Amino acid sequence: MDWDDLRVFLAVARSESLSAAGKRLQIDPATVGRRIVRLEEATGARLFLRSPQGYALTEAGQRLIPAAEQAEVALREAAEAISGAETCGLSGLIRLGAPDGCANYLLPQVLARICDANPGLEVQLVALPRLFNLSKREADMAIGVSRPRTGRLTVQKLTDYRLSLAASRDYLAAHPLTTRADLAGHPFVSYIPDLIFDRELDYLAEIGSPLARLTSNSAAVQLNFLRQGAGVGVVHDFALPSAPELMRVLPDEIRLRRAFWLARHADDVRVARLTRFAEALVRESRAEIARLEAAA
């Protein structure tokens, strides 16, 4: 069985289409299709059900996934051993998924420092306001706002962080807010209710505030609403230094605490390069949170 065909098989299984797999592998979809046919002939089994909606794994295809992923990990380990990755700086490409608040206000400076220390390293930061599917290899590792409870994952806490109620200085000058009871008379900025992908993001339910008037699925957009004087909303403390127009509201009464969690596929725990990157990410993230929250 040819490893290159297994690599194509995994790409199709994860993307569920020839065109998406071809884009990921940088080969044309027709070649992807021929490789799948060749692998099916070699295994004597049909691995995918073809339909207008895409390629879905058959029972035989599902059985092949663990072996193919083990081969994938073994190949990565062999590449590291040959390159001497244990003694050299980090190198190669790592794709990291993260919620957009973390991606906009914490990770740029963290990843810049890690890349400065490792000139051979390339990092792709995918900022999406949703959960990442690591089993489909949407990313090598992903940051979430709650600890994953399902899937074959290795999970560790990245860092704790705090959030505060905030509004622009101009807004508060025109609309004083001095007690918790005053909140009922102010417009709120928050997440679109039916697009809250994790219960940890339902800040208004925790605070007991009214429904928001301006909403977005993006933490960065919410921050910009507040900067424009649109009302009151919950903001990451680590984002406040980037928005000097904002100030905390009722800081002695309303402070939230959350944690970011770093997850990766369980098989990748044997990949030393990813482990070393995770260690650097944890170390630098905690240091940056401490710096930014002290400056807020």
pLDDT digits 0-9 by tens, 60-94: 999 998 888 888 777 766 666 665 544 457 888 89
54: its two tokens: 């895409």
Q: How far apart are CA 74 and CA 79, in angstroms?
A: 9
CB 210 within 8 A of CB 188: yes
Please identify, among 57, 83, 109, the residue that sits at the C-terminal boundary of a domain: 83
Note whether 46 and 162 are same-domain residues. no
Note whether 118 and 216 are same-domain residues. yes
What is the average pLDDT across 164-170? Answer: 97
Note whether 76 and 146 are same-domain residues. no
Please identify, among 83, 117, 146, the residue that sits at the C-terminal boundary of a domain: 83
Note whether 15 and 60 are same-domain residues. yes
Note whether 241 and 121 are same-domain residues. yes
**Alpha helices of 44-124 — where are they, by DSSP H?**
59-83, 100-105, 107-117
Q: What is the pLDDT of residues 87-96, one digit of tens each?
A: 457 888 899 9
Note whether 28 and 7 are same-domain residues. yes
Q: Burial level of 277, CB count in 10 A (0-12/13-18/19+)?
A: buried
CATH code of the domain covering residue 66: 1.10.10.10
Per the structure, the count of domains in the chain is 2
Which pTM value belongs to this model? Answer: 0.75
Note whether 127 and 20 are same-domain residues. no
Q: What is the pLDDT of residues 20-68, one digit of tens each?
A: 999 888 899 999 999 999 999 999 999 999 998 899 999 999 999 888 8
Q: Domain containing 274: what range?
A: 91-296
pLDDT at residue 5 tops 80 = yes
Please identify, among 47, 65, 83, the residue that sits at the C-terminal boundary of a domain: 83
CB 260 within 8 A of CB 159: yes
CATH code of the domain covering residue 98: 3.40.190.290
Note whether 12 and 132 are same-domain residues. no
269: its two tokens: 């725990």
Note whether 67 and 193 are same-domain residues. no
